[in-house]
A = this chain, B = another copy of it.
């Protein structure tokens, strides 16, 4: 529960990130930027594990994540849970408003999170008026799909060590791109159970896998934070290349 002043500051930073990202493909027109600035955003916070959206709901708002992490997940018949995406600050969770049908997955807060909401309808109106915005949103959706495809390859065809290393690499790079601290020692805000649900493994096996990555010297751990001690090794183990993230060249420092 910050004071409104902080909220406004956060919102402005978030909007700046959003505009930067929307113009990542092609610069968008000043009128379009102005239209984004005119959108009415309302702020709110979520506690860890609080639901942002539930499967079957019909969201009316568009959510811009300002602070913290969210995750999307699905529940399957045998009771298993699969985390299908992670959202970092600056990400726009447009989700299913456009499909006008109900949400096909859940969105939950991973950490304490602050978001800005605005009416989905207004965003669509904005996109309809300014085709540059619509194209930019299309672009963002394609990038998100690209990340999701890489996750399929990760879960489907890599073993536990490689999978885990790959996820750590992705998180480090994305955190870096989102302006969250140095990549060589980032705080991993996930429990081992959540890691397991992300990687299609069990929490127990995540534990052993993290240990083995530590033994191999790729990472060090302290309590619940993870530091990357050997980037080259981690990238090698995880078969990681950042190209599928489609970041602009200036957004990260990994060769």
Which one of A72, A96, A98, A138 has the greatest number of beta carbons of chain B within 10 Å? Answer: A138
Pick the 9 closest A-B CB pairs, nearest first. A156-B200, A134-B134, A77-B239, A131-B131, A80-B157, A141-B141, A138-B138, A82-B153, A145-B145
Residue of B nearest to A80 (CB): B157
**Beyond A78-B162, A155-B156, A155-B200, 7 additional pairs, beta carbon < 8 A:** A81-B157, A84-B153, A96-B246, A134-B134, A141-B141, A155-B155, A156-B200
User: Is A124 among interface residues, defined by CB-CB distance under 8 A?
Assistant: yes
User: Is A187 among interface residues, defined by CB-CB distance under 8 A?
Assistant: no
Bound Cα distance from A78 to B162, whole angstroms: 10
Partner of A144, one of B100, B131, B139, B145: B145
Bound Cα distance from A131 to B139, whole angstroms: 14
Binary interface encoding of chain A residues 70-108 relative to chain B, with 1 for a CB under 8 A from any of its CBs, else 0: 001010111011101100000000111011111011000
User: Is A143 among interface residues, defined by CB-CB distance under 8 A?
Assistant: yes
List residues of chain B with CB within 8 A of the CB of A124: 135
Interface residues on A, range: 35 or more
Bound Cα distance from A139 to B157, whole angstroms: 29
- CB atoms of B84 and A143 under 8 A apart: no
Closest Cβ of chain B to A213, distance in Å, is 16
- CB atoms of B141 and A142 under 8 A apart: yes
User: Is A183 among interface residues, defined by CB-CB distance under 8 A?
Assistant: no
Given contacts A72-B149, A82-B157, A200-B156, contact A98 B142 (CB under 8 A): yes
Residue of B nearest to A145 (CB): B145
**A residues 97-152 touching B (CB-CB < 8 Å):** 98-102, 104-105, 124, 127-132, 134-135, 137-139, 141-146, 148-152
- CB atoms of A141 and B145 under 8 A apart: yes
List residues of chain B with CB within 8 A of the CB of A239: 76-78
Given contacts A131-B127, A148-B148, A200-B155, contact A143 B243 (CB under 8 A): no
Partner of A142, one of B84, B94, B128, B156: B94
List residues of chain B with CB within 8 A of the CB of A51: none
- CB atoms of B84 and A138 under 8 A apart: no
List residues of chain B with CB within 8 A of the CB of A159: 78
Partner of A101, one of B74, B95, B157, B246: B246
Given contacts A74-B149, A81-B157, A157-B200, contact A99 B131 (CB under 8 A): no
